[in-house]
């Protein structure tokens, strides 16, 4: 086969593959899986070592790493518009090929990202994601396999994928926003109806002062419940959309655990619940956001306290498993019904029968899952009814 015919054949195969990828992207409305599909597809069609996608936050205008292949530790890093390849692409709306990244001044920030991901960038192809004439993000392909340079066909193929990706990302963001809004409105109906009903009762002349005071307290409780639900909802929306920037500091997890236990110890003591900790010395650090990981521990510990009975135990333990740190929060409480385990991390989900006994918004575990996954970890639960429950999450160890 002549070289020209071979190139044409390769191009046709890549275009056919792009059509298949486009169909898959358009059928995915969940943002996080969609972003991962995009970077996998970008890496495949450009034959590169790694790919990443960055999105522009519509409110702050900041640029964030959202998903990547073979670039651990870069998720949710804020990328400056000045001094970065992605920032240049956003500002100009043009594609960019950087054949020698180390010698390009626009690579200044990316070299710092390399330090965090233990990856060496040699060359970059970056294209803008444009939706309705507005740049909403950047798709980057890094290091051609075999050290070969990027060619015009690579730029063309990634640009075609970028056009499809921009539409798919925008659709996923809109779907996610409408889906979340519908859920929060539905959940707010009950406390709002209570407020309206008790406010109406307070206006009746036959109501005694003692009853009026009781009704006012109920209204205040329901209003505070709406406020907490709204704050948690906004936090979850930011995490799911990637707008919640995570710090990338070295974090000593044992300190995070002890601080969370100290905060909640008075609640545990008041309920006669025994706190214990099993953390070995010299645990390796993780890279991430200490405040968010503190929130994870608070959510898991407070959840255990809520469901435990007087005299129950709550134990936090950690261990190293290959390149991961494993953290478990185990309790000796009533446990979780088997049919509820698969739904426990869904937003607004409450274990059937516990709604009247345990106060909460039903968003804590959903937020916890989002934070853990944003750090590159996973979270799960094991439980048998009457035998307690154990929530376990993993975090990548910083080498």
- The CATH number covering residue 314 comes to 3.30.565.10
The answer as to whether 53 is a domain residue is yes
Same domain, residue pair 256 and 166: no
Structural domain tally of the chain? 2
Average pLDDT over residues 187-192: 77
The answer as to whether 224 is a domain residue is no
| Residue that has been written with the tokens 């390849």 in this structure | 85
355-397 confidence digits (pLDDT tens) = 555 556 678 898 899 899 888 899 999 998 888 999 999 998 8
Kindly give, in sequence order, each residue whose CB lies less than 8 Å from that of residue 145, ignoring residues fewer than 6 positions away: 47, 48, 49
Same domain, residue pair 258 and 397: yes
Q: Which domain holds residue 306?
A: 246-399
125-141 confidence digits (pLDDT tens) = 999 999 988 999 999 99
Same domain, residue pair 156 and 275: no
Kindly give, in sequence order, each residue whose CB lies less than 8 Å from that of residue 9, ignoring residues fewer than 6 positions away: 1
Beta-carbon neighbour count of residue 280 at 10 Å? 10
Collapsing DSSP to helix, strand or coil, 326 comes out as: strand
Same domain, residue pair 112 and 28: yes
The answer as to whether 60 is a domain residue is yes
Alpha-carbon separation of residue 122 from 51, 113, 256 (angstroms): 13, 13, 37
Question: What pTM value is reported for the model?
Answer: 0.57
Same domain, residue pair 164 and 265: no
The answer as to whether 201 is a domain residue is no
R_g of the chain computed on alpha carbons:
25
Among 121, 145, 174, identify where a domain stops. Answer: 174
Confidence band of 6 (pLDDT split at 50, 70, 90):
low
User: Which of 6-20, 69-83, 91-105 is the least confident region?
Assistant: 6-20
The answer as to whether 274 is a domain residue is yes
212-221 confidence digits (pLDDT tens) = 898 898 888 8
For residue 330, what are its two tokens?
Answer: 């185990």
Average pLDDT over residues 77-89: 86
Whether the pLDDT of residue 17 is over 70: the answer is yes
Residues 207-236 as b or e (16 or more Cβ within 10 Å = b): eeeeeeeebeebbeebeebbeebeebbebb
The answer as to whether 145 is a domain residue is yes
Same domain, residue pair 162 and 254: no
Whether the pLDDT of residue 97 is over 90: the answer is yes
Among 174, 208, 223, identify where a domain stops. Answer: 174
CATH code, 154: 3.30.450.40
């Amino acid at each position: 086969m002549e070289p020209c015919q071979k190139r044409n054949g390769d191009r046709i195969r890549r275009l056919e593959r792009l059509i298949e990828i486009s169909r898959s992207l358009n059928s995915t409305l969940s943002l996080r899986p969609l972003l991962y599909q995009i970077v996998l597809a970008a890496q495949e069609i450009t034959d590169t070592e790694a790919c990443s996608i960055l999105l522009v936050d519509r409110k702050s205008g900041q640029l964030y790493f959202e998903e990547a292949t073979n670039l651990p530790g870069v998720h949710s890093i804020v990328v400056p518009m000045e001094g970065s390849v992605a920032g240049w692409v956003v500002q100009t709306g043009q594609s960019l090929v950087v054949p020698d990244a180390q010698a390009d001044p626009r690579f200044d920030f990316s070299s710092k990202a390399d330090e965090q991901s233990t990856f060496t960038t040699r060359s970059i192809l970056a294209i803008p994601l444009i939706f309705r004439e507005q740049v909403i993000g950047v798709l980057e392909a890094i290091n051609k396999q075999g050290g070969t340079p990027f060619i015009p066909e690579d730029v063309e193929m990634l640009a075609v994928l970028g056009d499809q990706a921009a539409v798919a990302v925008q659709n996923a963001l809109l779907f996610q926003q409408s889906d979340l809004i519908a859920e929060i409105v539905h959940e707010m109906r009950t406390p709002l109806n209570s407020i309206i009903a008790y406010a109406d009762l307070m206006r009746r002349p036959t109501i005694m002062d003692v009853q009026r005071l009781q009704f006012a307290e109920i209204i205040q409780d329901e209003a505070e419940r709406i406020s907490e639900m709204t704050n948690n909802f906004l936090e979850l929306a930011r995490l799911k959309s990637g707008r919640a920037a995570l710090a990338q500091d070295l974090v000593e997890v044992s300190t995070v655990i002890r601080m969370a236990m100290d905060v909640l110890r008075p609640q545990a003591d008041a309920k006669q619940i025994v706190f214990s900790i099993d953390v070995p010395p010299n645990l390796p650090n993780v890279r991430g956001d200490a405040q968010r990981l503190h929130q994870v521990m608070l959510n898991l510990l407070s959840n255990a306290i809520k469901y435990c009975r007087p005299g129950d135990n709550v134990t936090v333990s950690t261990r190293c498993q290959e390149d991961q740190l494993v953290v478990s929060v185990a309790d000796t409480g009533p446990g979780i019904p088997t049919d509820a385990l698969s739904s426990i991390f869904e937003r607004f989900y409450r274990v059937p029968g516990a709604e009247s006994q345990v106060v909460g918004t039903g968003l804590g575990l959903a937020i916890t899952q989002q934070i853990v996954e944003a750090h590159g970890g996973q979270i799960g639960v094991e439980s048998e009814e009457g035998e307690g429950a154990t929530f376990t999450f993993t975090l990548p160890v910083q080498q």
